[in-house]
Structure 1
Amino acid sequence: MNKITKEDVAEAENQLFLAQKASDVDTLDQLLYDNLIALTPTGEMLTKEMDLNAHRSKSMIIEEASTEIDEINIIGDTAISIVTMTAKGKIMGAPLAGKFRYFRVWKHVNGSLQVIGASFMQLPE
């Protein structure tokens, strides 16, 4: 069992944020588990490939963003993070802006931390 620290998760969250902002598909590929399951605010299930394809095709563009890590809980070899992102961008050409809260489950997989599950919601203004 690999030990996970809050510092490791915070660093992985920062790498993920920078990769999302830059649509860095290679880094996202390393940070997302192959069988990732993520839920959108509407309940739609997203896979790793769906997320990577959104960045490859530029159907999701983050123009401005900042994040704040609200909480990291370690449970054995797994971690849960809660992050708030303030972002402005476009999804499939439609403008999108606001604050979003992400819930992620991190686990050591093949020697590195990867997101194995996630969900997010838009916060009221």
Structure 2
Amino acid sequence: MEKPITREEVIEAENKLFSAQRISDVDRLDQLLYDDLIAVAPTGQVVTKEMDLDSHRTKTMVIEEASTTIDNIKITGGTALSIVTMTAKGKVAGTPLEGQFRYFRVWKRIEGTLKVIGASFMQLP
């Protein structure tokens, strides 16, 4: 039986994920994202792990400035849910993008490591 997920582990995983996103550390992102990740973008597009990694590899998404706040963490059995607000400035496909974004992530321990298995995000008004 897997050991229970703790709040501290989720905070640590969120911080690692943010750091990796911030500098497009594809190797670290590869470790933190589940191979069968399903994420939903603000447009409704379903995003896979490979699509996410490719956006960092090709620099389609570039984060120039950013900060995050973990708003909430709920742990249910072997699954953790997190809600995070990111204030960011950057570019997507060369187009400037700036604002606040809300992320909802589902974390699960896979082979001893917390990984994002599902996510969605949106830009806040």
Give the TM-score category using the shorter length: over 0.9
Distance in 1 of aligned mates of 2:3 and 2:43: 34
Return 5+ residue gaps in structure 1 as ranges: none
Distance in 2 of aligned mates of 1:100 and 1:2: 32
Give 1:42 deviation, angstroms.
1.2
Q: How many residues align?
A: 124
Give 1:15 deviation, angstroms.
0.2
Does residue 108 of the first structure (1) align with residue 109 of the second (2)? yes
Aligned residue for 1:122? 123
Distance in 1 of aligned mates of 2:124 and 2:93: 21
The CA RMSD over aligned residues, in Å, is 0.5
TM-score (norm 1): 0.98
Give 1:30 deviation, angstroms.
0.2
Alignment of 1:77-88 (within 5 A): 77-88=78-89
Alignment of 1:15-34 (within 5 A): 15-34=16-35
Alignment of 1:4-43 (within 5 A): 4-43=5-44
Percent identity of the aligned residues? 69
Residue type matched to 1:62 in 2? I
Give 1:2 deviation, angstroms.
2.6
Return 5+ residue gaps in structure 2 as ranges: none
Aligned residue for 2:65? 64
